[in-house]
Each structure stands twice: as C-alpha cells, then as structure tokens.
Structure 1
Amino acid sequence: MRFSAAPSVASRLAIAVASEPERAHASSGAMPAGAREDALRHLLQTAADAGCTTVATRPEGDNERLLGQAWPFPSPFTVTVRTVPLSDGLDRLEARARRSLERMGLPRGETLLVSNPADLAGVEGRALWDRLTALKTRGLYRKIGFCATVEDGPDLLARRFQPDVVQIPCNLLDQRAEQDGTLEALAAQGVEIHTAAPFVSGLLFMAGDVLPPEFADYAPALSRARRRLAEARIDPMQAALSYALNLPGVTSVIASVASAAELRAMLAAAHAPRPNIDWAALALPQAADLSRTMHGAGRSPLDDFSRISSAA
C-alpha cells in the first residue's frame, strides 16, 4: 500500500503578487526602470525554491503579462485566475479567461474562479457557470469555482453549482466562516477550500494612530488583539498564518506578497510552531461591520492584493 505525503506548509501557501510593487521600496522611492521585472523574477524563483508553487492572479493591470515574462524555466507554477465582471458580457468574460492564460504564456490554468458571487446568484448565473464548465471540459482549466464572503451564502451556492473550489476570507480578525460552520459545510460537500486575506489588508499590523479614518472605529479592538499577541510573545504574521493554515478543511491560504524578502518572512512565520493561544479571543466582535467597511473603502475582504501596509 502506498501512502501520499501530507502537503508541505509551503505548498499550501499560495502567493498573490501585490499590485503595488513599490510597497517593498516605499523607503527608497519609486522602483528604477527594469527593477520591477527583476524583483518579480527573484520573487518567483524564491517561491519555486521553497516549494510555494501556486500563484493567484486577477485580470487587471499588467501583472499577468509580467508573470508570463518572469516564470523560471521550467516553471513549477500553477495559477488561479479570476473572471472579469459578468456585466462585461458572457462572451467577454470567457474571452478574458482565455486571454489570462495567453498573457501568462500558459497552455492551461489550475483554477478559474468567478470573482463576484452575485454574478452566479443572478438570472445569468447558470449560463455563466456553463461557460466555466465548458472551459474545464476543454482542458483550459482543471478546476472551477467562485470567490465569496460569509454574507454571500457560499454553502448554498456550492450546493447549487457544485464547484471544485471556493475561496473565502477567514482570518484572525474575521473568524465567522469557521465559527458559523461555513467551512465545515463546504468541506462536507467535497469542496476544496481556499482562504484569503490572512493579513486583513494589513490592518492586523497597523497601530491606531496610522489607521485610515474609515477604520478608526476598529482601533480599540485591533489594539486589544495586538496586545494579546504581544503578551503571548507571538509575532502577528506568525499568528495570522498559523491560524489560517490550521483551519479544518482548508487546502490553500492565499497571501499577498510584494518581494522575495517578504516571502521569506512569510515562509519563516508559516513554518514556526503553532502558538498556544485562545484564537477565538482574537476575533473582532464587529467582523461583519469590518467587512462592509472594507467594501465601502474599495478594499475587498476577499484578498490582500492591496494591503494597507507591508507586513514584512
């Protein structure tokens, strides 16, 4: 009898290359010409060497093309791609999913996710899902699924469409997907669960005096969470990744990263022993309000692509 090895920590940590590459160079000004491409190659090679081989992308900006130019050869990476909004039209949505692979120089992708669950809940939801299913049948993507928050009812959507993958935020500050049974319900359906936004767009690392004004109401609760971690002598990055990586049923944790140095810091934190702490005590009581505030501020709780500050 053959036994398959348990997935390594690095293999379960997926990276989303930050859309603001200057984040890693904030103290030294804008990046010189060509430095962005070199930095991305270094980041990807660091990820490949560590065994961190899943890259999450979005169909906006120039990141997909830059990734296509920067893959190490031979490339060990698989990609997770998101759709454009259904409001662009079904034909445009399908064409852009194909175009994402072309821009990255890949014959096929690992996973294609509907970006907005409201697109599936609407009148064209079934037609949209049929388009994704056809792309999977043709071998362009191995898995299909959708992104959702707790408010979107991902369990019910999964029962209706039977996705391979659901991406959902669940982190130290917003633990609702674990506490209300959403993760358990998805796992019971055989769905592969990806959690997103482990760093809550950087809020976990920000002191109250530097919080953007729209998040000022959460400063006391954020301060309490940081104080609990400090008293337990636990680094916030270590705590965030340990919580996410140990969630039952979760197969992949997607974290935003802007540089090889940032990735090395994440990997070191992810490999650290799991802290002995009351995780539930770190959750924000106003997690639902925080999710709505992030949406209103243009910072999606579904990912850390645009983190407020660097965690490194």
Structure 2
Amino acid sequence: MVNNADFFEQTCLGTVQFGLNYGVSNKNGQIAGADVQRILELAHHYNVSRLDTAADYGDCERVLSKYPETLQNFSIATKSIKTSNIQEKKFSKIKTDLIESLETSLDILGMKSFDLYYLRSPETLFQYHREDTSKYIAEIKEKGLVNKIGISIYEEKQLNDILEVFQPDVIQIPFNILDQRLSKSGTLKSLKAKGIDIYARSLFLQGLLLMQPDQIPNFFRPIKSHLQQIHSQLTEYSLSSLQACLLCAFQTKEIDKIILGVSSLKEWKEILKTIEELPNQPLDWSSMSLDNETFLNPSKWEVN
C-alpha cells in the first residue's frame, strides 16, 4: 500500500522533457529513451495514471510510442496544434489541419482516443469561428477521438473571455507557491461551482522554486528577498522546497489534478519518494504569493 495514495491519483506526468530540452533550471537536456521507459514504469507502480503531452513536444510522441505495452496503463491528454492567422483562414482549412494532427498523434501512439484534448487559442477561434468551432468540438467528441475538452490559460482575462462563449470540461492553470492569483481571487471556487475540473501546472515554475536564492538568474533579483523569505519560512516548517511546492497544490482543495514535468529519472524518483512521505500538515500558503506577472509568467522572462 502506497502512502498518500490520493496524492498520486491526483498526479499527471508531463512529458515535454521526453522530446525537448525544457525549463530554466534543466541542466540535463532531453531525457534518454531507456530512462523514459523507467519513468513510465515507476509512474504506473505508484498509480500515476495520466500523461500530458502534445504533438509539438519535439519527438515526444515517437519516444512514447516505443513502449506500447507500458503506454496502455495511462490515459493521455494532448493539445491541438498551434494555428496561425485564425482570423484570416477559412475554418474548413483550420479544421482539416486540426483533425489531421489529432489523428496522426493517435496513430503514432497506437491509441483510439485521447482522454483530454486542450484546444489552443480558444478565444480567437471562438471570436472568429464561433459556430464552426463549437461544431468541431462536438464532432471529435461524437467520433470518440476525445473524451473531454480543455483549455490552458496563462491569465484570468483569457478565462473570462472564454467562459462567455464556451464552458470546457477542464481548465489548466498555472499554480504554485508564488502564483496563487486564481485561488486568492475566488476564481477557482467559481469554476468548481460550474462543474469544471481544474488541472494545475508550473508547480515548480520551470524549476525556479527548487533553486537556492543565490542560484537564481539575475532577472529575478527584484524578488530575491521574497524568495529568501520563503526559504526561511520553509525551514521553520521543516519542509524542503520540493515538499512545499507539492503540498501547496495538493492542499488547494479546488485543484483536481496536478501536472508534474521531470528532467531526469533521478528527479522523478525523488518526486515520487517525496510525495509518498509528504506530511499532510495544513499550512497557510497565502503569504508566500506574488502578484507581479513579470515573474510569474515564463513567457515574460528575460533569461538566457
């Protein structure tokens, strides 16, 4: 019997590092194939039964396809391809590209359907092709290509624009010790009241929250004292940075699933061991948060 079984059931394994070198603190590069298989086997052992992937995560899908028997143990979430010039294109062309990519991904992975399909640029699709986009979503569900439809947001304004025209099954949000904006604003409670599942990503903020304050890139100097303060608080709580990042999300009751990406087999083993041994002590995380999006949104970072 695994300790903290509920925590493992809440966990989704992010696979971007299976196909790309990703993350501000990632010094390991793309994960080797043999390690990918072991990571998947360990995930299954601990009842982590969900994978989060995408066609544009480098060669991630082809890496995963090398382990068909292991892959059968997981339900998989994917993302639609990025679509440019949405306002200028006819939807028939957009739809053809989306369907082709979706079916290609299923074929590569040897699957009949995805459990969850994140629609990229949903606000633009609905703005310029509202009826056709709604029909497309209904069609891929009816055909059994996908089970649930999700959207992934970076800021609350995106969410408000989308919910005016469409209610997804799942909303993926950035959430971590520093970025608790959607929780503090009451937005997460509002989403749960609508019956929407909430998936959290960026628990480690691309590894920034696992770094020692004296190791952080110069870009983050303005918040260095805040990060040092957090480390001091965690020392008082007898928690490591990794424990705290995980606990903060697991203890936020509105969050249904958390997505964890790893950069190595060693890191995955450490995460699994940490989850298994997590002390489920209730803590107040709100004082550790920030509101400055410059440091919360990696797309705004100026880091070499």
Q: Distance in 2 between matches of 1:102 and 1:127?
A: 25
Return closer, same or farther for 1:117/1:182 CA change in 2, 3 Å cut-off. Answer: farther
Q: Is the 8 A contact 1:192 1:250 kept in 2?
A: yes
Q: How many Å separate the matches in 1 of 2:26 and 2:259?
A: 22
Q: Does 1:14 align with 2:19?
A: no
Deviation at 1:234? 0.6
2:184 aligned to which of 161, 164, 179: 179
Deviates more, 1:238-247 or 1:13-22: 13-22
- Whether the 8 Å CA contact 1:225–1:283 is kept in 2: the answer is no
The structure 2 residue matched to 1:62, chosen from 43, 59, 62, is 59
Structure 2 partner of 1:149: 154
Normalized against structure 1, the TM-score is what?
Answer: 0.82
Corresponding residue for residue 111 of structure 1:
116
Whether contact under 8 Å (1:66, 1:104) holds in the other structure is no
Q: Runs of 5+ in structure 1 lacking a partner?
A: 1-5, 300-307
**Alignment partners' CA distance in 1, 2:177 and 2:111:** 35
Alignment of 1:75-224 (within 5 A): 75-87=72-84, 89-120=94-125, 122-155=127-160, 157-224=162-229
Q: Distance in 2 between matches of 1:168 and 1:54?
A: 17
Distance in 1 (alpha carbons) for counterparts of 2:122 and 2:147: 20
Superimposed CA distance per residue, residues 179-208 of structure 1 (whole angstroms, 9 cap, x where no aligned partner)? 101111111111111111111111112234
Q: 2: distance between equivalents of 1:208 and 1:159? A: 41
Q: CA, structure 1 residues 213+295, in 2 after alignment: closer, same or farther (shift >3 Å)? A: same
**SS of alignment partner, residue 72 of structure 1:** helix
Alignment of 1:274 with 2:270, yes or no, is: no
Structure-2-length-normalised TM-score: 0.84
1:236 aligns with 2:272: no
**Which residue identity is paired with 1:297?**
W
2: distance between equivalents of 1:250 and 1:74? 25
Counterparts in 2 of 1:211 and 1:116: CA distance versus 1, 3 Å: farther
The 1:129–1:210 alpha-carbon spacing in structure 2 relative to 1, beyond 3 Å, is: farther
- 1:295 has 2:286 as partner: no
SS of the equivalent of 1:248 reads coil
Unaligned runs of 5+ in 2: 86-93
Give how far 1:144 is off.
Answer: 0.7
Distance 1:73 1:298 in 2: 39
Residues 135/121 of structure 1: CA separation in 2 closer, same or farther (3 Å cut): closer
Select between 276-285 and 230-239 the one with higher mean Cα deviation: 276-285
Secondary structure at the aligned position of 1:152 is classed as helix
How far apart are the structure 1 equivalents of 2:262 and 2:242? 13
Following superposition, the deviation at residue 121 of structure 1 comes to 5.0
Q: Report the CA distance shift for 1:260/1:279 in structure 2 as closer, same or farther (over 3 A).
A: same
- Percent of residue pairs identical: 23
CA spacing shift, 1:129–1:268, aligned 2, 3 Å: farther
Q: Which stretch shows the higher mean deviation, 45-54 or 222-231?
A: 222-231
CA drift at 1:173: 0.7
Task: Report the 3-state secondary structure (helix = DSSP H, G, I; strand = E; otherwise coil) of the residue aligned with 1:160.
Answer: coil
Distance 1:72 1:44, change over 3 A: farther
Residue 84 of structure 1 aligns to which amino acid in structure 2? I
- Distance in 1 separating the partners of 2:68 and 2:248: 30
Residue type of the partner of 1:15?
A: L
